[in-house]
Amino acid sequence: MTSNISRRRLLGLATAALTAVTLAGCGGTSAQGGGSLIFAVADKSLTATTASYTSVPLRAGYFADEKLDVTIQPVDTALSAVQSVATGQSFMTYASMNAVVSAAGQDDGLAVVGFTNGNIFRVAVPEDSPIRTVQDLKGKTIGSSTLTSISNLYAKGVLAQAGLDPEADAEYLPVGYGAQAAEALRGNEVQAYAGYDGPNVVIGDLLGTPLRALDTPLNDLTGTSALVVRKESIENEPERVVGMVRAFFKAMVFAQENPEAAIDMHWAEFPQSKPAATDEQVAREQAVRILGMRLDVTGGPGPSGEYGVQDAAAMQHTVDELARYGMVDKAVDLESSGLVDYSLADRYNDFDAGAVKQEALGWKG
């Protein structure tokens, strides 16, 4: 299998905070034509959860197999990532449907070419917390990374779905990730945390007790993360879209089969993502666990047996629920809007998942 390491690049983290304002003044040449394709990643720190779609397709040669030169571009938020595609600065991103629907309301040139399974967002409490149900959050303070984060919007949606008034019945406090969030829970500044799989594991480890997700029907939404391109890319560069998505799903299969190798690849490719001031073996075990949890939720083919393809009614339900509970401004009719385009799904599914699993099991680096 070919692997062209010299062509792999990571744009500097210091310049990665793309915004709609700065992107509007930039040309889209880096995302189009015959040069490097920019894949925007909505995780500035390139944490372990990103390994399956950043380092693995690079190190395993899946991008190279498709004759693609791909640059991984970390950005601050999912909305920044989708905006970078909208403005032509990035060729593709993998981002939350909240951000996709919000951006699509301003730009009808965006298209979702595939989804992953499940919902990674959760409102959680320490395992020994007396809070057992969402209704128990009344009068409590919920922490999240920032007040503008999708996780915080999700918390408000969870309260609204349970019949509470999300503005009057709870307070919200930005407590970041990791140690800051754990300390806020330990000191009872917040009684619950709205986050997603990776940070929730880290916070639980720092607390010395796992975080327990509160039950809500919103946890059962599917397709809450999507692969996004511009519609013109599907029309003008279908081979490159197919190649990017096929590499994405092959790498997902690899990482799910061998998360240990995926983390080794990730730290080799992006050494700045490796936790500092932590015992390496402990950090590695945590990273493997975080990646495994992510792929337990999002990995595998959709209900039809094809990777990237979700049931149309289930996806419309997801979007409708996001709108009903204030996580996006308004719902989008996925069929009439043309936001979802599965026209390339048969082509990007043209790979042997069994062979990828065997490769993962036998991976020697």
36 with 244: CB under 8 angstroms? no
pLDDT tens for 293-317 read 999 999 999 999 999 999 999 999 9
CA angle (115 as vertex; 241, 295 as ends), nearest 5: 110
Helix (H) / strand (E) element for 268: namely: helix 259-269
Distance of CA 122 to the CA centre of its chain: 14
- The mean pLDDT of 103-108, rounded to a whole number, is 92
What single-letter DSSP state applies at residue 278?
Answer: S
> Which residues, including other chains, have CB under 8 Å from residue 143's CB and lie 6 or more apart?
172, 173, 174, 175, 181, 184, 185, 189, 190, 192, 193, 194
* Closest alpha carbon to 99 in 357, 282, 329, 304: 329
> Which residues, including other chains, have CB under 8 Å from residue 362's CB and lie 6 or more apart?
none
CATH of 5-118+222-361, one of 3.40.630.10, 3.40.190.10, 3.40.50.300, 3.60.15.10: 3.40.190.10
Q: Is the pLDDT of residue 123 over 90?
A: yes
Q: Is the pLDDT of residue 18 over 70?
A: no
Provide the percentage of residues in the chain whose pLDDT is more than 70: 90
Same fold, 5-118+222-361 and 121-220: yes
| pLDDT band, residue 277 (cuts 50/70/90) | low
Q: Where are the domains of the chain?
A: 5-118+222-361, 121-220
C-alpha torsion angle, residues 28, 33, 36, 41 (rounded to 10): 50
C-alpha torsion angle, residues 129, 131, 134, 135 (rounded to 10): -170
Strands (E), the chain: 9-10, 37-41, 70-74, 92-96, 110-115, 121-126, 140-144, 170-174, 192-196, 211-213, 225-230
What's the topology of domain 121-220?
D-Maltodextrin-Binding Protein; domain 2 (3.40.190)
- What is the structure's pLDDT at 34? 60
